[in-house]
A and B are shown apart, each in its own frame.
Chain A
């Protein structure tokens, strides 16, 4: 079993989930509470990875972070090393790719918080940020957990995008799905099915425990 690849995938999924939590929560908040009319455009952009083929996304990311784009060149000047074929490059791709899996559950949950509670808090002089922290977040644990778990699981199983931007470097960009694919290509079907089975079981356990947690008493029941 390719433990290097498995560990890499776990690190990538964890890092992507942390980044998505950091940018997904404010983004979901903005989508739900902003009065801007054109916010549907932002929602559509966030949802794009759901429908775009990973190869398309992967190719855009490859070109977008490469030395032919201003972003790629600026990063290479600052960091002394380009983004393609690095863990950081893969992280950017994963964050884009898993974005809807974090932002959509967050936004749905934020939107379902009783408006009257928010207005009560605001009229008591509590700032919107503080209201968000003390009212919206505690009432949205369910959606936050769902978003976190889906981002993690989705990044763990990511294939097409990694194939396009990774370059298959052991310990850097050879994730577990690439390792399985390589095993199949090398006709090592036994190794491929061992790793696949592990991935299947892990994914199932992650999802099953999330859904079971959502039923348990320590999470507030839905109104």
Chain B
């Protein structure tokens, strides 16, 4: 009986179904603001290369903690540059493999049903008395959260907004707070709002990039990457003109410009 249980467990753990590994393979840990863009990028990449790409989306801080413990990913696409740099400093990455692939853009967003005129009032809309909650990502650890606080300070609305802030764990969850109507407005990533399923769901105001710290998104290849050539090919595509064009279409700026 124990033999059959062990066999069942092996199947459940995915050990029973090894496919012959002829194709290249890259396992990517990606920041959650890449969700829409990366799907398209990988489809385009897969058409030209014989490489399977599997992506896990999550919070960069969580991935960082997991990667410190050698989580089985080949490439890390972080929402900032600090995490990949720290991994490099600890000698956990392929030397000189760090790269900046995109610049995130911060927006103020309110659902279509909201009476707030964010498109014209911009951040000043946050001072309205009708607002009970403003969603931002946690500024203690989320880059978009830090950017949101800086932008509100620059616009002179932070003191009025401060007591109304509710903090999302990451920028994707922050978006959920606003989308569900629980918060009146939120400072989120442009990339989340440009996803196809978000079309027409709300109105946005793009916050001037000069008013918050640059949201440089960095990546790196991990030391234990199984297929280094495949990982390098994917990095190359991300930084190519084609890759950058897709990222721009989904609300990121190019690091070069």
Q: Which positions in A face B, CB cutoff 8 Å?
A: 59, 62-63, 65-68, 81-82, 84-85, 163-165, 167-169, 181-182, 184-187
For the complex formed, measure the closest distance between the CB of A94 and the CB atoms of chain B, giving whole angstroms.
17
Q: Are A185 and B182 in contact (CB under 8 A)?
A: no
Among A67, A168, A185, the residue within 8 A (CB) of B62 is A185
Interface string of B171-202 (1 = CB under 8 A from A): 00100110011110000000000000000000
Flag if A62 contacts B180 (CB, 8 Å). yes
B132 within 8 A of A: yes
Q: Report B96-138 CB contacts with A as 1/0, cut-off 8 Å.
A: 0000000000000000000000000000000000001101001
The 25 listed contacts between A and B (C-beta, < 8 Å) are: A59-B180, A62-B176, A63-B181, A65-B182, A67-B181, A82-B133, A84-B133, A84-B180, A85-B166, A163-B173, A167-B133, A167-B135, A167-B167, A167-B177, A168-B166, A168-B167, A168-B168, A169-B166, A182-B141, A185-B62, A185-B140, A185-B141, A186-B61, A187-B61, A187-B65
Chain A residues lying within 8 Å of B169, measured Cβ to Cβ, are 163, 168, 181, 185
* B62: A residues at CB distance < 8 A: 184-185
List CB contacts (< 8 Å) of B52-111 with chain A. 59, 61-62, 64-65
Give the shortest distance, in Å, between B202 (CB) and chain A (any CB): 13
Chain A residues near B177 (CB-CB < 8 A):
62, 84, 167
Closest to B133 in A: A85
**CB atoms of B65 and A184 under 8 A apart:** yes
A62 neighbours in B (Cβ, 8 Å): 176-177, 180, 182
B133 engages A68 (CB within 8 Å):
no
Give the Cβ gap from A188 to chain B, nearest Cβ, in Å: 9
Per a CB cutoff under 8 Å, which of B135, B142, B182 touches A82? B182
- A163–B137 alpha-carbon span in the complex (Å): 12
Complex Cα gap A81–B183 (Å):
12
A48–B24 alpha-carbon span in the complex (Å): 42
Roughly how many angstroms separate A59 CA and B166 CA in the complex, as a whole number? 16
Per the bound structure, the CA–CA distance linking A85 and B134 in Å amounts to 11
- Which of chain A's residues has its CB closest to B111's CB? A68
**B194-224 interface with A by 8 A CB criterion:** none
Q: How far is the CB of B140 from chain A (nearest CB, A)?
A: 5
B61 and A68 contacting across the interface, CB-CB below 8 Å: no
Instruction: Looking at the assembled complex, report how far the CB atom of A87 sits from the nearest CB atom of chain B, in whole angstroms.
Output: 13
9 closest pairs, A vs B, by CB? A167-B166, A84-B182, A168-B167, A185-B61, A185-B141, A68-B181, A66-B182, A186-B141, A66-B181
Expressed in whole angstroms, the minimum distance between the Cβ of B164 and any Cβ of chain A is 10
B141: A residues at CB distance < 8 A: 182, 185-187
Q: How many whole Å from B139's CB to the nearest CB in chain A? A: 10
